[in-house]
Structure 1
Amino acid sequence: MAELASTARIEPTEARKVAFAAFVGTALEWYDYFLYGTAASIVFDRLYFATEDPAVATLAAFASFAIGFVARPVGGVIFGHLGDRIGRRRCLLVTVTLISVVTGLIGLLPDFVSIGLAAPLLLTALRVLQGIAVGGEWGGAVTLAVEHAPPEQRGRFAALPQIGSPVGTLLSSGGFYLVAMLPDSSFDAWGWRLPFLAAFPLLGVALYLRRRVGESPLFERMLAEHDRASVPALELFRTAWRQVLIGVAASLIGIGGFYLLTTFVISYGSGTLGLPKSLMLIATLVAAAAEVVTLIFGGRLADRFSPGKVCLWGGVVSALVAFPVFWMIDTRNPVLVVIAVTLGINCLSIPYAVSGSLLAGLFPVHLRYSGVAISSNLSGTLSGFVPLAASALLLAGDHRSWPVAALLLTLALITALGGLLGHQHTRP
């Protein structure tokens, strides 16, 4: 990006501090967000959306999961506007606080037996607030990390916030794995709430780190030159709508594919295939641990070859493994199930690793927060319906997995196209 090269010298120590703070914040963000997805698979369908038909209850739980994604573009517009007008750092303090408080409140919410219809309504409302907060969090974290990074290393610095995703998965799945060891009655009564309540103390850590980082030097330079858009979202869609669409496509497999191979597969494995919940959670834990290495490697590939090329390659690889992943899961063999989930998640993590640097390179500084947040969250909105669509395809396909594998293949090919176009449109 030409803007990066033309700015004042960036101190590597400050860049690393910012990237680490972005990583911790996004780890907490995704911990909070993934908790809901896991709970939707094994708890909320029974305790908040209770019906006589388990399949309908699961669809209702996944629908509430999807609503959070619908709210994400709203958060992208709100915090993108503020981030491009008043600063990236201030917005990130607000978003991490909001998402943590909302997650903790979910852990305190009475269930359907206690307060009736108010339970699913309140749960859904909290999910909407959670979605708004996440809508502003990731885009700001990536933007701040990229704008502090040395020009030749922006790929690896932009990958650090991405590592928050597997770490959040490890924390959320690990937390649920531990409380799932409780007797069913204890788990349903209070055990599942503990991982949600942990969001309160974790918030203190994230705020401490984020308050210690400075504002983006590129944003401060932009303020000095009085180069701010009056309404960033409007200018974005007027002047850079093609880049927004490219960003949506490039982000799709990393978000939608991930939720398909975690949220949906946990439900599919434990519900349809009759596999233990603990096995499905272990599979996501192993995949997340391996994903950390994949993301680091992907960020370095982006610095060497360009984010667009790496996104293209990752989309193609993800398409190639779509059907084999489900063939292995359908064997019900525990080892093959763990291998399948790990393989699938780590293939789609290749384009996910570079999505931050790719999206940041699509937009000028004065529209960057809005551009990154809105394009990624529009992709997130589509992705939020992936578990719901996969469940519907499973029912339509007489509980056979091939329609779901075809869905994963489609998402991967769209991302490959986004990578190809992104390589052509990324700023030098």
Structure 2
Amino acid sequence: MSEHVSEAEATKAVDPQTVKKVAVAALVGTALEWYDFFLFTTASALVFNVQYFVSGDPVVSTMEAFGTLAVGFVARPIGGLIFGHLGDKYGRRLCLMVTIIGIGAVTALIGLLPNYMSIGMAAPIFLIALRILQGLAVGGEWSGAVTIAVEHAPIKQRARFAAMPQLGSPIGTLLSSGGFFLVVFLSSQASFDAWGWRIPFLLSIPFLLISVLIRRSLSESPVFNELLEAGEKESAPIKQVLIKTPIQLVLGIAVALLGIGGFYLVTTFVISYGTQTLGLSSQLMLFGTLIAAALEIPVLLYGGRLGERFGASRVAIWGGVVSAAVAYPAFLLVETKNPVLVVVGMTVAVAALSFPYAASGTILTGLFPARLRYTGVAISSNMAGVVSGFVPLIATAVVAAAGQSYWPAALMLVIISLITATGGMLAPRMSINEKGLKH
């Protein structure tokens, strides 16, 4: 029996209400994941460069803070290997409980960490250590969430439900940037630097409790249960993924790159560029991120429906092309320093790259057979995350080398967009479930 037929039969008996319930549970967890992770990225641009990395050169301090951001992305594929192996061997549900608890706990500890002025060099060392632990947990979260959502859904509706965990990204952005925006707006700069920035990190504690309560009701993937019953569970998923699906891994990295790296370029880097180079207020830049994230929610939902109708690969292709086309205009709008146009530029750029992001879950899960899926998706998405983690750092360096001109950053967005479009074009040829990618 082919894996496609087996998966179709496994999901046929799943109650539609259960499918929706699992999708919501996956969404809640990824929302907390991205809330915690985006707190760190926003703090990297606004806080860590002055609280934990003390230097006479603000560019050096910013690059050190973004370097810490990148460290977490380096840890992500290691976490992906660990949780991918466990998820393919012991089940998706258990891993998703472990990852969400790990993410929330580490974020709370970051909110309690003394700064450089209090404990000296120990502060950035502890911050980096916590960032690594956070990256390990995040490395297994999204891949597990999208896998369990897809494996509960009917084959023909996978594009719709695979887009649900992606909503965690804008929701997490709204919560994290919104938290920072309120703290910045309601407190003085001195209060924000002293203690205000810690509040959003500590709020992860109640968010974590809510997420755990909801995720406890998750049922195990029917596809994984069928593998257990058939005795087809893979004992060495990492080895098999690396040996049997190397091309799929490369394509998965390409498809995921724009939704992660492009997003960090037009949010984290633009926040830093806008405040430090253009002299714009942090309130304006955070507000622009909030508006962009709010619009991203309907875009992701619409992108999932388009993937269901026309195929996820086509959504990734055309979304990548459109993102490349709007890259320079979006940066030009930010460059005007006009508050309205700055927000429009950030929003347009995020909306364009959100279409390929909506399709990425369907494409990545379709590239790997069920017995290797958690591991394959985890490795490819997290390797894309490794590259993405360095995007703000690289953009800061090349823009500084160009005399603080925006064009190298816009060119980076064009290149990233075209890489994802190419991945979307080639992915259906290597998919084990091509019907889930195109009709």
The aligned residue for residue 34 of structure 1 is: 38
Distance 2:60 2:71 in 1: 17
The aligned residue for residue 83 of structure 2 is: 79
- State yes or no: 1:224 paired with 2:229: yes
- State yes or no: 1:210 paired with 2:215: yes
The aligned residue for residue 311 of structure 1 is: 316
The aligned residue for residue 63 of structure 2 is: 59
Pair 1:311–1:2, CA change in 2 (3 A): farther
The aligned residue for residue 8 of structure 2 is: 5
Distance 1:213 1:67 in 2: 31
The aligned residue for residue 175 of structure 1 is: 179
Distance 1:3 1:275 in 2: 55
The aligned residue for residue 122 of structure 1 is: 126
Structure 2 letter corresponding to 1:65: L
Deviation at 1:425, TM superposition (A): 2.0
Cα distance per residue 1:196-236 (max 9 Å; x no partner): 00111111111111111110000000011111222101100
Distance 2:48 2:335 in 1: 25
SS in 2 for 1:69: helix
The aligned residue for residue 189 of structure 2 is: 184
Residues 306 and 423, structure 1, Cα contact 8 Å, conserved in 2: no
The aligned residue for residue 26 of structure 2 is: 22
Alignment of 1:255-334 (within 5 A): 255-334=260-339
Deviation at 1:3, TM superposition (A): 3.9
Pair 1:215–1:415, CA change in 2 (3 A): same
The aligned residue for residue 107 of structure 1 is: 111
RMSD across aligned positions (CA): 0.8
Distance 1:61 1:3 in 2: 48
Structure 1 letter corresponding to 2:161: F
Residues 12 and 150, structure 1, Cα contact 8 Å, conserved in 2: no
Distance 1:155 1:44 in 2: 38
Deviation at 1:334, TM superposition (A): 0.6
Alignment of 1:358-369 (within 5 A): 358-369=363-374
* Gap runs ≥5 in structure 2: 435-439
Distance 1:218 1:11 in 2: 14
Distance 1:2 1:270 in 2: 54
Match of 2:352 among 347, 350, 353: 347
Alignment of 1:330-409 (within 5 A): 330-409=335-414
- State yes or no: 1:412 paired with 2:417: yes
The aligned residue for residue 252 of structure 1 is: 257
* Gap runs ≥5 in structure 1: none
SS in 2 for 1:18: helix
Q: TM-score, structure 2 length as denominator?
A: 0.97
Structure 1 letter corresponding to 2:238: A
Deviation at 1:152, TM superposition (A): 1.5
Distance 2:201 2:42 in 1: 11
Cα distance per residue 1:331-386 (max 9 Å; x no partner): 10111100000000010000000101110011100000001111000000000000
Residues 85 and 229, structure 1, Cα contact 8 Å, conserved in 2: yes
Distance 1:236 1:305 in 2: 29
Q: TM-score, structure 1 length as denominator?
A: 0.99
Distance 1:85 1:223 in 2: 9
The aligned residue for residue 437 of structure 2 is: none
Structure 2 letter corresponding to 1:425: M
Cα distance per residue 1:118-157 (max 9 Å; x no partner): 0000001100111010100000000000000122111111
Deviation at 1:103, TM superposition (A): 0.3
Deviation at 1:412, TM superposition (A): 0.3
The aligned residue for residue 164 of structure 1 is: 168
Structure 2 letter corresponding to 1:138: W
Pair 1:314–1:126, CA change in 2 (3 A): same
SS in 2 for 1:361: helix
Deviation at 1:9, TM superposition (A): 1.6
Distance 1:151 1:253 in 2: 25
Distance 2:99 2:337 in 1: 40
Distance 1:401 1:380 in 2: 23
The aligned residue for residue 92 of structure 2 is: 88
SS in 1 for 2:164: helix
Deviation at 1:27, TM superposition (A): 0.3
Q: Which moved more, 1:401-410 or 1:417-426?
A: 417-426
The aligned residue for residue 132 of structure 1 is: 136
